[in-house]
A and B are shown apart, each in its own frame.
Chain A
Amino acid sequence: MFGKKKVKSQSAETTGTPATRETEGLSQGQIIRQKFFRHKVAVFSLFFLIFLTLLVFSSSGIHLGTDTHPITVHGWWPLYILDIDPVGALESTCNGGMTGCPTMDLIPSFIDGSPMGFGAHPIGSDDIGVDWWALVTRGAEQSLTVMVIVGALGIFFGTVIGAVAGFFGGIIDAILMRITDMFLVTPTLVLGGVIGSRFGNLGVVPLAIMLGLFAWMGLARFVRTEFLTLREREFVDAARVAGASNRRIIFKHILPNAVGVIIVSGTLLLSGAILTESALSYLGFGVKAPDVSLGLLISNYQDSFIVAPWLFWWPGAFIIAIALSINFIGDGLRDAFDPRQIRTIGKAVKVKSPKKAKA
């Protein structure tokens, strides 16, 4: 047909030397990786998130353990959230008497008279003189930790429980889904409060683990539904005839087909984790002062938006940057897993679509 010839010649151009490249057999994993790395926005987001994580962690250092047994690695930023500098905060005023203004001056002296430089608190300090950069990086560190742990646990348990329930069905499904129901009827905030008051003083990691153990139910439901429909498809029978074990069928054959659902609700889960953490912190059950998290910073200073906007902008920018890059990475992953998604390969394959329309 006319459409097909076009496709062949164009795809030959885009893939370079098809004769040598195409005959080499690629596994599912290799093809997915190639496709992901062709998704520019996703790759950029991935590197940006890595950069952000490294920046945040290296800047504020690592502070684990309890008050009595601290585990501390200092970061490159000289100030930490426990260092108070009331004098510095008082000296830097702006907006008609507001203290703790950013000391960073990016405008050269021949324009406004004052010399360029960072100053003691480049992005300002809070009302009692704690350096804002130290607070924001520490907050981002905490929020990232919560997000990663909650996300990983939620996605892992949700996927495995949903997959097992949907694939095996019957009594296993019934038991797993009733357990899921029990988790679902427990109000998250009350539970978080209990967990927070019990484990909150141990730092953010145990809190995140406990939250993660209660974050998988929605995902499990979605994955189960997906598995229920997919397991009836003939390719599952074909795999079984080929001698595939249940484990292989679940993870190699069905799971890649359910990846869209997992990624969509997984990204929601990650952003939800930040919100839960900030809600808990706001109620006083999550991260406790003097320690901070991004959510806590925003909720503490939401009234300062007009008079001291830097108190609001910086944690907000960090949250947006983290959430956006996770969404873009998820987008790229989903496209990479979906063989029909052809945006990244170029226009060549799109010529096929009129055939579909005709049928």
Chain B
Amino acid sequence: MTQPVLKVSNYNVDFWVDGFWYPAAMDMNFEIQPGKTLAIVGESGSGKSSSAMGLMGLLAKNARTSGSVEVKGVDMLKASSSKLQSFRGKEVAYIFQEPMTALNPVYTIGFQIVETLRLHLGLGPKAAKARATELLDLVGIPNPTVSIDKYPHQLSGGQKQRAMIAVALACDPALLIADEPTTALDVTVQAEILDLMRDLRHKLNSGILLITHDMGVVADMADDILVMKDGRTVEYDTADNIFNRPQHSYTQELLAAVPKLGSVPMRTLEIKQEAKPVLSLKNVVIEYPKRGRIPAFVAAQDVSFDIFPGEILGLVGESGSGKTTIGRAAIGLIPVKSGSISVVGQEIAGAPQKKLSSIRRHTGIVFQDPASSLNPRLPIGESIGEPIFLAGIAKGAELNTMVEDLLDKVELPRSYRNRYPHELSGGQRQRVGISRALALNPDILIADEPTSALDVSIQARFLDLLQELQGKLNFACLFISHDIAVVEILSHRIAVMQHGKLVEIGPRDQILNNPQELYTKNLLAAVPVPNPAEQKKRREARAALLASGGN
């Protein structure tokens, strides 16, 4: 055995809050060999990020760490701050979750790489610039000699993350700590970034500490896995053992909660011949108008589809494909440039304010971010009751009982009604969101990425609840998501969007098993599956697909 790049033993992280030490990570032991990847998985709040930041003393002032953290044999927790500084960036590099915020917007990406190089390696400006160009080439940024002078806002999300990786790799670090490196990215971009990281690991022989909640990404990358829950190590084993022979019940639950592509039985829905669609889009064009020097942007082009009573249509696509725009236009939040959108037979495009609000009584919407979609200054009982109150259906005591019913429906305690949104967890907030959307018994529910902010186990419970409610109340639903595995669980039919155009629409199984369009094939191939052996096969299949001229 060679010397491990990282050896952590009896490692604890605590936070000092209001006169108590609250443990964020307890008694962790693990090590990473050169060229290997250890993945730390766990749900939000399990302490995975805190423990990784604590390794190099990057935590806030109210934190303390204990135990031992050895990087190439040097104990980081006992090292002086100047020693730590010389290790950071040189021996240990970080890749952060949000490339948009981790890169400094006022400097070119070239400058940010050169800075690291000159600091740690003492290179001259010219040599550093040459090396920076080389690095950008290595991480696959097109045309590196030109890109080096670009500012972060001139790059796409995936390119920014590549630039971040280039900064991290500048000094050939022995250990790369990647904190949710692909969470903010689309699946196809994610697949590219993961390919890049895998490739680099072999080239540079660095160890990677990967922190993620996405079991698919873990299956794609990890050699070893450490599962965390509430600050404790639940299980630490090889990837093969964790995925195929999980010992601990929490690991088993976690794996069971992950939606697996292609594992949900057929869902069919008999649509009666005479049934009229609840939502019908015909040749819809939506344009964000010109603002100053920014030209007009066509967000949706010639989109047509119908949703029938009781049907769930899954709308998938990458960020910027226009799926959210379609969802918002369907309830009249965004004006339509041309074409028609009708809800229960009434035209919503261009409808006057009064008519709009009467049509909206047939609709409900669940937003992506439960933290932002509930008024922080309004107790949730009032948020839920607002549609009923404004529709003039009930008020006072009667409204109170209706709100109680709605809370019961989404399985929240009635006593929560006077709580403010911030006092609820993410999953509970999203339940509030759904109960508000269902307050008026809508014919159609628009669900705009309702699960993207939730942990997998909470997501699984939320999807169960949504299915149950849909079965009971039989509303139609436009379910917008970037996660194809989630869409698969719910949908009867699936529509795929790209660059504002509807690429493909059809019954669920046809889209998933026999996609006609190349884009759909690429999209499906990029989804990582939480099973290392299968994911390896899929990866190769995807490489073949791309090589055959895809994309």
Kindly list chain B residues whose C-beta atoms are within 8 Å of the C-beta of A234: 367-369, 372-373
When A2-B230, A28-B377, A240-B333 are in contact, do A357 and B15 touch as well, CB less than 8 Å? yes
Tell me which of B33-41, B119-127, B258-266, B412-420 binds A: B412-420
Is A328 positioned at the interface, with any CB of B under 8 Å from its CB? Answer: no
Kindly list chain B residues whose C-beta atoms are within 8 Å of the C-beta of A19: 415
Contact with B along A230-268 (1 / 0, CB 8 A): 000111011111111000100011001101000000000
When A28-B382, A240-B333, A357-B17 are in contact, do A235 and B415 touch as well, CB less than 8 Å? no
**Docked CA distance A242–B386 (Å):** 7
A25 interface neighbour in B369, B417, B421, Cβ under 8 Å: B417
In whole Å, how far is B452's beta carbon from the nearest beta carbon of chain A? 13
**Docked CA distance A127–B72 (Å):** 85
Is B377 in contact with A256, judged by CB distance below 8 angstroms? Answer: yes
Kindly list chain A residues whose C-beta atoms are within 8 Å of the C-beta of B364: 241
Q: Residues of B within 8 Å of A, CB-based: how many?
A: 59
Could you say which of A22, A23, A242, A354 has the most chain B C-beta atoms within 10 Å of its C-beta?
Answer: A242
Tell me which of B44-52, B73-81, B521-529 binds A: B44-52
Kindly list chain A residues whose C-beta atoms are within 8 Å of the C-beta of B44: 359
B418 interface neighbour in A31, A337, A340, A349, Cβ under 8 Å: A31
Is B391 in contact with A243, judged by CB distance below 8 angstroms? Answer: yes
**Docked CA distance A123–B506 (Å):** 90
Is B331 positioned at the interface, with any CB of A under 8 Å from its CB? Answer: yes
Q: Mark A residues whose CB is within 8 Å of B.
A: 1-3, 18-19, 22-28, 31, 233-235, 237-244, 248, 252-253, 256-257, 259, 337-340, 347, 349-355, 357-359
**Docked CA distance A285–B383 (Å):** 52
Is B436 positioned at the interface, with any CB of A under 8 Å from its CB? Answer: yes
B377 interface neighbour in A240, A242, A337, A355, Cβ under 8 Å: A337
Is B372 in contact with A235, judged by CB distance below 8 angstroms? Answer: yes
Is A340 in contact with B17, judged by CB distance below 8 angstroms? Answer: no
Which residue on chain B has the smallest CB distance to residue A233?
Answer: B372
**Docked CA distance A323–B184 (Å):** 49
**Docked CA distance A296–B387 (Å):** 55
**Docked CA distance A3–B231 (Å):** 13
Kindly list chain A residues whose C-beta atoms are within 8 Å of the C-beta of B414: 23
In whole Å, how far is B290's beta carbon from the nearest beta carbon of chain A? 14
Is B386 in contact with A355, judged by CB distance below 8 angstroms? Answer: no
Is A238 in contact with B367, judged by CB distance below 8 angstroms? Answer: yes
Is B403 in contact with A358, judged by CB distance below 8 angstroms? Answer: no
In whole Å, how far is A21's beta carbon from the nearest beta carbon of chain B? 9
Is B133 positioned at the interface, with any CB of A under 8 Å from its CB? Answer: no
Known contacts A25-B400, A26-B379, A340-B420; 5 additional CB pairs below 8 A are A338-B377, A340-B422, A347-B18, A357-B15, A357-B24
Is A235 in contact with B373, judged by CB distance below 8 angstroms? Answer: yes
Is B331 in contact with A241, judged by CB distance below 8 angstroms? Answer: yes
Contact with A along B109-152 (1 / 0, CB 8 A): 00000000000000000000000000000000000000000000
Is B360 positioned at the interface, with any CB of A under 8 Å from its CB? Answer: yes
Chain A to chain B contacts (Cβ below 8 Å), 23 pairs: A23-B414, A25-B403, A25-B417, A26-B379, A28-B382, A234-B368, A234-B369, A237-B373, A238-B365, A238-B367, A241-B365, A242-B386, A256-B375, A256-B377, A259-B377, A339-B376, A347-B18, A353-B17, A354-B17, A355-B45, A357-B62, A358-B24, A359-B44
B382 interface neighbour in A27, A248, A339, Cβ under 8 Å: A27
**Docked CA distance A243–B391 (Å):** 7
Is B22 in contact with A257, judged by CB distance below 8 angstroms? Answer: no
Kindly list chain A residues whose C-beta atoms are within 8 Å of the C-beta of B331: 241
**Docked CA distance A240–B390 (Å):** 10
When A242-B436, A243-B360, A353-B18 are in contact, do A358 and B373 touch as well, CB less than 8 Å? no
Kindly list chain B residues whose C-beta atoms are within 8 Å of the C-beta of A22: 415, 417-418
Kindly list chain A residues whose C-beta atoms are within 8 Å of the C-beta of B536: none
Which residue on chain B has the smallest CB distance to residue A236?
Answer: B375
Kindly list chain A residues whose C-beta atoms are within 8 Å of the C-beta of B375: 235, 238-239, 253, 256-257
Which residue on chain A has the smallest CB distance to residue B47?
Answer: A358
Kindly list chain A residues whose C-beta atoms are within 8 Å of the C-beta of B363: 241
Is B367 in contact with A1, judged by CB distance below 8 angstroms? Answer: no
In whole Å, how far is B49's beta carbon from the nearest beta carbon of chain A? 8
**Docked CA distance A25–B381 (Å):** 7
Is B328 positioned at the interface, with any CB of A under 8 Å from its CB? Answer: yes
Interface positions of B from 42 to 61, Cβ below 8 Å from A: 44-47, 49-50, 60
**Docked CA distance A309–B399 (Å):** 63
Kindly list chain A residues whose C-beta atoms are within 8 Å of the C-beta of B423: 339, 349, 352
In whole Å, how far is A272's beta carbon from the nearest beta carbon of chain B? 27
Kindly list chain B residues whose C-beta atoms are within 8 Å of the C-beta of A18: 415
Contact with A along B415-439 (1 / 0, CB 8 A): 1011011110000000001001001
**Docked CA distance A28–B389 (Å):** 14
**Docked CA distance A3–B47 (Å):** 14
**Docked CA distance A349–B424 (Å):** 12
A244 interface neighbour in B46, B373, B390, B417, Cβ under 8 Å: B390
Question: A-B pairs with the 4 shortest C-beta distances?
Answer: A354-B22, A339-B420, A242-B387, A234-B373
Kindly list chain A residues whose C-beta atoms are within 8 Å of the C-beta of B376: 235, 257, 339-340
Could you say which of A25, A248, A339, A351 has the most chain B C-beta atoms within 10 Å of its C-beta?
Answer: A25
Kindly list chain A residues whose C-beta atoms are within 8 Å of the C-beta of B399: 25
Is B369 in contact with A243, judged by CB distance below 8 angstroms? Answer: no
Is B378 positioned at the interface, with any CB of A under 8 Å from its CB? Answer: yes
**Docked CA distance A238–B384 (Å):** 10
Is B18 in contact with A358, judged by CB distance below 8 angstroms? Answer: no
B45 interface neighbour in A1, A244, A252, Cβ under 8 Å: A1
In whole Å, how far is B59's beta carbon from the nearest beta carbon of chain A? 9
**Docked CA distance A339–B49 (Å):** 28
**Docked CA distance A37–B403 (Å):** 27
Kindly list chain B residues whose C-beta atoms are within 8 Å of the C-beta of A259: 377
Kindly list chain A residues whose C-beta atoms are within 8 Å of the C-beta of B24: 354, 357-358
Kindly list chain A residues whose C-beta atoms are within 8 Å of the C-beta of B415: 18-19, 22-23
Is A238 in contact with B422, judged by CB distance below 8 angstroms? Answer: no
Is B286 positioned at the interface, with any CB of A under 8 Å from its CB? Answer: no
Is A241 in contact with B15, judged by CB distance below 8 angstroms? Answer: no
Kindly list chain A residues whose C-beta atoms are within 8 Å of the C-beta of B198: none
Which residue on chain B has the smallest CB distance to residue A337?
Answer: B377
**Docked CA distance A351–B242 (Å):** 34
Kindly list chain B residues whose C-beta atoms are within 8 Å of the C-beta of A350: 17-18
